[in-house]
Amino acid sequence: MTIRRHPDPVPNGPNFGVLNSGHMTGPVQAAPFSENATQTNQITNEAVDKARDSIADLRRRLEELRGQHPEADRALRDLDMIVPRLDEPAREPGTLRYMLQNLVERCGGIPGLVAAAQLVQSTVVALLPGS
């Protein structure tokens, strides 16, 4: 049996190497040799409203626990830095992801709040461009 060696593909245009199995429901997956692969998120008002609602719920719960847990004040400060960035989530997506991770970690030390913090994280990350 003869084994043929196929040459590596040569890029021939924008988005060359984007793999599509025909059933795409998630972000674009680019092959390692691809160039210029991009993804455009269509952010709806409903998605922004969900993010704001999850933040409002977490804020209310944190304010109730203020004074009982030192991390509650720090988590509220994190929320204060996250909220203004919802108007332009694509401007500093890495910074926003970092802030959200800090928020989840802070709330992890407060009983009953980690799920609410994770909801904030997932609704806000849904607004960010794909990485």
The answer to whether residue 58 is domain-embedded is: yes
Residue position matching structure tokens 């040459």: 7
The answer to whether residue 10 is domain-embedded is: no
The answer to whether residue 18 is domain-embedded is: no
The answer to whether residue 37 is domain-embedded is: no
Domain that holds residue 68: 45-125
Residues with Cβ within 8 Å of 54's Cβ and at least 6 positions away in sequence, in order, are: 116, 119, 120, 123, 124
Number of domains present in the structure of the chain: 1
Residues of the chain with pLDDT > 70, as a percent, come to 66
Buried-state track 79-96, b at ≥16 Cβ within 10 A, e below 16: beebeebeeebeeebeeb
pLDDT band at 129 (very low <50, low <70, confident <90, very high): confident
Tens-digit pLDDT profile for residues 94-123? 999 999 999 999 999 898 899 999 999 999
Tens-digit pLDDT profile for residues 49-96? 999 999 999 999 999 999 899 899 999 999 999 999 988 888 889 999
The answer to whether residue 25 is domain-embedded is: no
The answer to whether residue 89 is domain-embedded is: yes
Which two three-digit tokens encode residue 28?
A: 């674009």
The answer to whether residue 104 is domain-embedded is: yes
The answer to whether residue 84 is domain-embedded is: yes
